Amino acid sequence: MSIAASDHRHDSARGPSIAQANADFSRQRDVWLAGRRQATERRRVLHAVDGFLDTVEESNLAGHGRRPDPLMRHRLRRFEARLGLSLPEAVLQARDGHRLHEALLDWQDDLLDQAGLRARRVAVDAFADGEDFAS
pLDDT recorded at residue 53: 93
Residue 5 has pLDDT above 60, yes or no: no
Q: How confident is the model at residue 123 (pLDDT cuts 50, 70, 90)?
A: low
> What pLDDT was estimated at residue 1?
45
Closest CA to 46 of 95, 131, 115, 135: 115
What CA–CA distance (Å, rounded) separates 15 from 98?
63
Q: Left if phi > 0, otherwise alpha if psi is -120 to 50, otherwise beta: which for 116?
A: left
Distance CA 113, CA 130 (A): 23
Q: Which has more pLDDT, 52 or 67?
A: 52
| Backbone phi, psi, residue 65, to 5° | -70, -30
Q: What is the pLDDT of residues 53-107, one digit of tens each?
A: 998 998 889 888 788 777 788 888 999 998 888 999 999 998 888 999 999 999 9
- Centre a 10 Å sphere on the Cβ of residue 101 and count the other Cβ atoms it contains: 18
Report angle CA 49, 75, 113 to the nearest 5 degrees. 20
The pLDDT, as a whole number, for residue 125 is: 60
State the pLDDT confidence band at 124, using cuts at 50, 70 and 90. Answer: low
Residue 22 predicted with pLDDT over 60: yes
pLDDT category of residue 117 using cuts at 50, 70 and 90: low
> Is 83:107 a contact under the CB 8 Å cutoff?
no
CA distance 42 to 95: 27
What pLDDT score does 68 carry?
78
